[in-house]
Amino acid sequence: MSSVWQDFTAPTPPELPPEKYDATVASMIALLRYGSGLPFNRVQRLQQDLGEAVDASNISSLLTTANIRRQIEDGSAEGVNMQRLDAESN
């Protein structure tokens, strides 16, 4: 069999973090989307302008994976954030 049709996978460099995005990415996107009302395509363009290209479909899945979308839609995220702000100010 020819090696033309074989897949070769390089090992992942050890210096790469296990996560593709920092933990704060989902919360910042949620603030832009739900706090400021930016559609995902505008968030995508903003990130491209900043040199960090993330597709609009990935942006949506980031919020779903981080469980932020559900918290915002059912209203539980606001209460969590307010409790956290109160705890930090004391």
61: in domain: yes
Is 9 a domain residue?
A: no
* Number of domains comprising the chain: 1
Q: How far apart are CA 90 and CA 72, in angstroms?
A: 25
Judge if pTM exceeds 0.85: no
Answer whether 50's CB lies under 8 Å from 44's CB: no
Query: In this structure, what DSSP letter does residue 36 have?
Result: S
Is 16 part of any domain?
Answer: no
Range of the domain at 32: 21-89
In a domain, 85, yes or no: yes
Is residue 4 in a domain?
no
**Inside any domain, residue 3:** no
| Within-domain flag for 7 | no
pLDDT digit string, tens, across residues 32-86? 888 888 888 888 898 889 888 778 788 878 877 777 766 666 665 554 444 444 4
